[in-house]
Every structure is written in C-alpha cells, then in structure tokens.
Amino acid sequence: MKHPPIEPWYCEVEKAEIQPQNLERHLTACSHCLETYQSWQEVERALLRLPLHAPTSGFANRWQSYARVRSQQTQEAFWNWSVGLVSVALLVIASMVTLLILFFDSSFVTEMISNIIRMLSRLPLTWLQLRYAFTFWLREIPPYWIAAFGLFLYAWTILPLGTWLYAFIKFTSRGVKPS
C-alpha cells in the first residue's frame, strides 16, 4: 500500500487537501497511523485544557520601554563606532602629514598637498566628463549590443558565483577530508 502524506491530516483536518473520509479509511487500514493520530489528538486535547493566563499589568509598557532603550543603545553604539572610525582616520591622516612635514623637503610636502587639492577640485568636472562620454556612447551603440553585453556580463558574473556556491555546498555537505 502506498503511504500518503498524512502529517497534514493530523494537525489540520479542515485545511488538508485530502478528504476526511480518506483519512478515516486510511486509519482503519493502518494501525501505526491510527496510534500516531490518537497521540496527536491527546496532545491537542492537553493543550486545549491548559489555562490561559493574562499578561501581568504593564507588560506592554515594559516591553515598549525595553524596545525604546534597545533602539537607543543600538543608535549610540552606531554613533560611537562612527565617531571612533572617523577619529582613527583623522589620526592616521594627521600622523601621515606630520611625517611628511618632518622627514621630507618642505617643497615636496607643499607640492603634494597642492596636487591633492587640485585633484579633489577636478573630481566634479572629471565626473561630468565621464558621465557625458558614457551617455554619448550609450546613445551611439545599438540597443541589441547593450543587451548582448549585459547578458555577457551577467553570464560571467553568474558562472564564478555558481561555481563557488556549488563547491561551497559540496564542501559543507561532505566536509573536507584530511590528506
């Protein structure tokens, strides 16, 4: 006899896809399923007999205040980490500038700082030029080439990721055997 999937019958007879008549017919034929079904019925009756307890007074207020405090702690931790990282970055930059000033020729340091300032001031113009070139060539290239390039890029992205995922699944399911 082919054994049907009867687990949904045990818990939710009303919502099961198979008719209750089929359940009764199967239970008369299969003693193991009958025992299991009766055990589940006992568990359900025991759960229904348990008394319901109302939450203690102020439970919702305590929970909301806990959630509020937890949110504040998370925000404080975020800002503490952010300030710490920015402080470390500024400290590194200041120490690098100090080392440059102390150990290199002053004309070299001033030239280097002026080059950095010049590069930073040209960034918006460079960005606009790159954007213009990109949009110009995008308008000149036929649409099917854009789609072909997108598919090519997609394939060469999925191929290594799929290979990595396959290897990862194989290693985690079998493990690596020591040599």
User: Are 9 and 18 contacting, i.e. CB atoms less than 8 angstroms apart?
Assistant: yes
CA distance 146 to 137: 11
Q: Is residue 42 part of a domain?
A: yes
pLDDT digits (tens, 9 = 90+) for 65-116: 999 999 999 999 999 999 999 999 999 888 887 877 777 766 777 787 788 8
Q: Is residue 138 part of a domain?
A: yes
- Provide the domain limits for residue 113: 105-147
Looking at 16, 32, 49, which one is the last position of a domain? Answer: 49
Where are the alpha helices (H) located in 50-58, listed in sequence order?
Answer: none
Q: Is residue 120 part of a domain?
A: yes
Q: Is residue 25 part of a domain?
A: yes
3-state secondary structure at position 5 = coil
Domain count, the chain: 2
pLDDT digits (tens, 9 = 90+) for 99-112: 777 777 667 777 87
